[in-house]
Amino acid sequence: MILGAAGIGLFQAFRGRKDNSSAEFLLGGRQMTAVPVAMSLTASFMSGITVIGTPAEAYRYGTAFWLFAFAYAIMSSITAEIFVPLFYRLGITSTYEYLELRFNKLIRVIGTTMYIVQTALYTGMVIYAPALALNQITGLDLWGVLVATGTVCIIYCTLGGLKAVIWTDVFQMVIMLAGFVAVIARGAVLQGGLGKIWEDNYNGGRLDAFSFDPDPLKRHSFWTIVVGGSLMWVSMYAINQSQVQRYISCKTMTHAKMSLYVNMVGLWITVSLAMFSGLTMYSIYKDCDPLTNKDVGSSDQLLPYLVMDILAEFPGLPGLFVAAAYSGTLSTVSSSINALVAVTVEDFVKPMWPNLSEKKLSWINMSMSVVFGAVCIAMAAVASLMGSILQAALSVFGMISGPLLGLFLLGMFFRCANSIGSLTGLITGLIITLWVGIGAQVYPPLPIKTKPLPLSVSGCHVGDTNITTTVAAWTSTALPATDIVRPALADTWYSLSYLYFCPVAMLVTVTTGLIVSAITGGCKQEKINPEMFVMKEDLICFGCRRTDPENPATVLVEKVEPEQPHGLDNPQFTDIKPKLKDSDDTTKL
């Protein structure tokens, strides 16, 4: 699988050797089509942590996670109909270019810096977490695999650019789905069919997915997943550079929108296979839980343990699953490296040296790919020292997206929002979510809110005495947690469902931004290009464009589209700005 990914990168590098432009490297020349981009979007979502963690979620908590299918549909519609037309119309490469166009340079730099920090840290976690789980179950050398993973990503990201990333994602997506199918098929054979698996999970209480409890402290309910989960995924798909960079690489807006809707179907299929893998695992281990029995050290090791248990006798199938887990890792890491290069070059390098030749930019792009690949491997080494802080870092990744989403919404929908108010809102939202998120890690919610489902060891037959002792030890280590002195906020504010971190941050950012903007005079003194806002013709419209030749906005659209993909900070577009300011048509817009 690793050799195949590297081969795709080399092929794309050879195929595109005649065009070494920055646009070709970062955006595939803006000539991608909907289906491969959609599969790349789905593969980027399916990190190694997701491949291993989603089945464990079904095993421990049941099928409530399946409700994310609603969240994916809502996310895809909002992103396709609101964000895609705006970003595609402006022809940006870095998502954060918009922040400078709408507000100022400082806000753009802050937004880019937040993205770089969270992505580098998260990518290190994505490399390390599945590697650790597989190392402890399969015996694969941990650091050998870590370095190999990072090195292969560096090779094909450096040589092939975005096209290599997208096509390797397609390849890796097929392998991930094949890994899930292998687990489900073998489990069905062992248990006597899919119907028996479904029956076992029904009897074990795993199929009770719909809980309409409005309590915001409950970890997973219909409301936390559909409301909180939808906004969380909007923040991940609508403004996250790793995702935006893919759909703005499409050759038309129609392809860009369609890639998100096809991706939605891909997410449904992927999460369904992952959840059914977890249900299969419960059916097999319903009477002898490996977690309680201490056969594994954490829930992340459950699926690798199952694979080695039921597939070890079939040559190649355990390897298929290992390849599936590492496909998730490679797809996420390669997407992150490519996105980190894009924001660094567009937001820092080009503004500092605006007259760089395409040849120099090409070398900078490739050099930055190597640098960020090395940084991600280094962050994996840091993750190995973090222990329980690993989950805290993953939560922080989600929390940072909420304030950024609020910042973009302020710019796109509220003409009165100014730079001072928006910056104040961003900082306030970030402080609030870091407060609740770090508090939740220090004082985790009690089981009454997380509601893990019961597990049994009654069917374990490897020495009943040892099993009894193990269960007693497991119980005794769990009980003292309730005796720890917890502050007043621990069971209220700190117990807020993690899916509400993003909505809270977004609301705080937007509300604070509007209040401060009103106090500081709004945008009365600012002339804002109307292209910066969401327009009614953007909504539910495939390929709609304004064609009035007298309208200067049309000129802007025509010049910013595929031929010149670098946004308005590109020196080639400076001639547009006076036309927009001086034309009488601007006020009519």
Identify the structural domains of the chain with CATH numbers, from first to last.
Answer: 2-383+391-457+489-574 (1.20.1730.10)
**pTM assigned to the model:** 0.78
d(CA 387, CA 449): 24
* Residuewise pLDDT in 10s, the chain (589 residues): 778 877 877 777 677 555 555 555 555 556 677 788 888 778 776 677 777 888 888 888 888 888 889 999 999 999 988 898 888 888 777 788 888 888 888 998 898 888 888 888 777 777 777 777 677 667 777 777 777 777 877 777 777 667 777 777 788 788 888 888 989 999 999 888 889 999 988 888 888 878 787 878 777 788 888 888 898 889 888 888 888 877 777 888 888 888 889 989 988 998 899 899 999 999 999 888 888 888 887 777 888 888 888 888 888 888 888 888 777 777 777 778 878 888 888 888 888 887 777 778 878 878 888 888 888 878 777 766 654 444 555 566 667 888 999 999 998 988 888 889 999 999 999 999 888 887 877 777 776 666 677 777 777 765 433 333 333 223 323 333 444 577 777 777 777 888 888 899 999 999 999 999 988 887 665 677 778 888 777 665 544 544 333 333 333 333 333 343 444 443 333 333 433 444 444 444 3
Could you write out the DSSP letters of every residue in 77-128? HHIIIIIHHHHHHHT-SSTTHHHHHHT-HHHHHHHHHHHHHHHHHHHHHHHH
Q: Could you give the dihedral angle defined by the CA atoms of residues 565, 571, 575 and 576, in that order, rounded to the nearest 10 degrees?
A: 40
Dihedral sign for Cα 151, 154, 156, 158, please.
negative
